[in-house]
Amino acid sequence: MEKELRLMKGNEAIAEAAIRAGADGYFGYPITPQSEILEYLMEANPQVTTGMVVLQAESEVAAINMVYGGAACGKKVMTSSSSPGISLKQEGITYIAGAELPCLIVNVVRGGPGLGTIQPAQSDYFQATKGGGHGDYHLIVLAPSSVQEMADFVEMAFDLAFKYRNPAMILSDGAIGQMMEKVWLKPQKKRSEEILPWATTGKPATREHNIITSLDLDPERQEKFNQKLIAKYREIEEHEVRYEEFMTEDAEYLFVAYGTSSRICQKALQLARAEGIKAGLLRPITLFPYPKKRLNELADTVKGMLAVEMSAGQMVEDVMLSVNGKTRVGHYGRMGGMIPTPEEVVDNLKTFIKG
């Protein structure tokens, strides 16, 4: 397959990009609003073209554990789900983080808690960026804001996951998953045949047996392992922060927003500028690692920052930690599947400015 321009849903773009990125396996379970990923892959049937395995599991729990098994063989494997299903996967995700395995997990977020709604939300930010399951760990979290990025971030997430032997997550939402945009698809990549030295592929005479586990009953060794993980996360924070800025040069007030909210803020800042308010926008692309340093720098030049999220206020805590009291931080959020309009965001910016 050559480079190609297509009109696609965000979910379909993820599926097609996974095939083209040379993924070895996808394991999933239907849940709205992301079932198109599994449907698309089943119809595309890459088993006969690239050899990629696609399997509908009996549950989200089974699917993430299939990802664990595949990742432990050094294979490029992934799963996708939406909020309630991602909660079910947390057990598997913490094992994968504890066993230091690379994989991709896609969360097309919907409103919660519980069964919630099937409409878009950003209320899984804490779960995605602060661990999610038990134990001290982090995922590498990428937040696409367009169908193009849904496609592009698949390969980026796999690359980061393998670079750091750490699970990576694409944190999207129902709006980006369901909307259609034009998307440039990359040419087909060949699936890797490399046998990774740590992977369980059958023990040859030339090496010790490989054991993939997250268990160490010796607390001193386990603490050393925890410290090793923390060092890895610090390295990721050092090298992998990604973000995008809009009109920050002369901004007096800064929107901080990711994904769908960041697109709304792009419009809102134009409306605000038309009214003479010097607004800017910082869009975190990586949610872990978070662009703390850049926000801290911007705190020196702006009069305040307004975090706009489709949640009760989750990412805003990272904004506060980043600026560490240097500037005022506010929050505007809609919940339960409601998406804010640019006009109401501007109104809330004005209220924030008044203090």
Partner 1 sequence: MAELTFKDIIKPENLAYTKSKLMTDNVMHYCPGCGHGTAHQVLAEVLEEENLQSKTIGITPVGCSVLMYNYIDIDFQEAAHGRAPALATAVKRLMPDKFVFTYQGDGDLAAIGTAETIHTCNRGENILILFINNGIYGMTGGQMAPTTLEGMKSSTSPYGRNVSTMGSPIKMANIVAMLPGTCYVTRQSVNTALGARKLKRAIKKAVQYQNEKRGTCFIEVVSNCPSGWKMTPVESNKWMEENMFPFYPLGDIKVPEEK
Each residue 75-104 as x (binds partner 1 by CB under 8 A) or -, in order, gives x-x-------------xx--x---x-----
Taken in order 344, 346, 351, 355, the sign of the CA dihedral is positive
Least CB distance to partner 1 at residue 66 (A) = 4
For partner 1, the binding residue among 210, 270, 296, 301 (CB under 8 A) is: 210
Least CB distance to partner 1 at residue 227 (A) = 21
212 binds partner 1 (CB under 8 A): yes
Pick 63 or 157: Cβ nearer partner 1: 63
Classify each residue of 129-149 as buried b or exposed e, where b means 16 or more C-beta atoms within 10 Å of its C-beta: bebbbeeebbbbbbbbbbbbb
Pick 57 or 277: Cβ nearer partner 1: 57
Pick 24 or 155: Cβ nearer partner 1: 24
Distance of CA 95 to the CA centre of its chain: 18
57 binds partner 1 (CB under 8 A): yes
Q: Which of residues 273-312 bind partner 1 (CB under 8 A)?
A: none
DSSP bridge pairs for 104: 78, 168
200 binds partner 1 (CB under 8 A): yes
Which region among 59-67, 112-120, 248-256, 309-317 touches partner 1 (by CB under 8 A)?
Answer: 59-67
For partner 1, the binding residue among 49, 59, 227, 341 (CB under 8 A) is: 59
Pick 195 or 231: Cβ nearer partner 1: 195
Q: Do 302 and 280 meet the contact criterion of CB atoms below 8 Å apart?
A: yes
Collapsed DSSP state (helix, strand, coil) of residue 30: coil
Which residues are CB-contacts of 90 (< 8 A; sequence separation ≥ 6)? 127, 132, 133
29 binds partner 1 (CB under 8 A): no
Least CB distance to partner 1 at residue 161 (A) = 16
Which region among 11-19, 64-72, 119-127, 165-173 touches partner 1 (by CB under 8 A)?
Answer: 64-72
Helices (H), 4-146: 10-20, 35-44, 60-72, 83-98, 125-129
215 binds partner 1 (CB under 8 A): yes
209 binds partner 1 (CB under 8 A): yes
Question: Counting Cβ atoms within 10 Å, is residue 40 exposed (0-12), middle (13-18) or buried (19+)?
Answer: buried
Q: Do 332 and 348 meet the contact criterion of CB atoms below 8 Å apart?
A: yes
Pick 217 or 274: Cβ nearer partner 1: 217
73 binds partner 1 (CB under 8 A): yes
> For the sheet containing 103-109, what is the strand order?
53-56, 25-28, 77-81, 103-109, 167-173, 140-142, 286-288
Strands 167-173 and 140-142: parallel
Q: Which two tokens stand for residue 277?
A: 């308010």
Least CB distance to partner 1 at residue 191 (A) = 10
Establish whether the linkage from the previous residue to 340 is cis, with ω within 30° of 0.
no
Pick 71 or 264: Cβ nearer partner 1: 71
For residue 343, the tally of other CB atoms under 10 A from its CB is 12
137 binds partner 1 (CB under 8 A): no
**Contact positions vs partner 1 (CB under 8 A):** 24-25, 27, 53, 55, 57-59, 61-63, 65-70, 72-73, 75, 77, 91-92, 95, 99, 200-205, 209-215
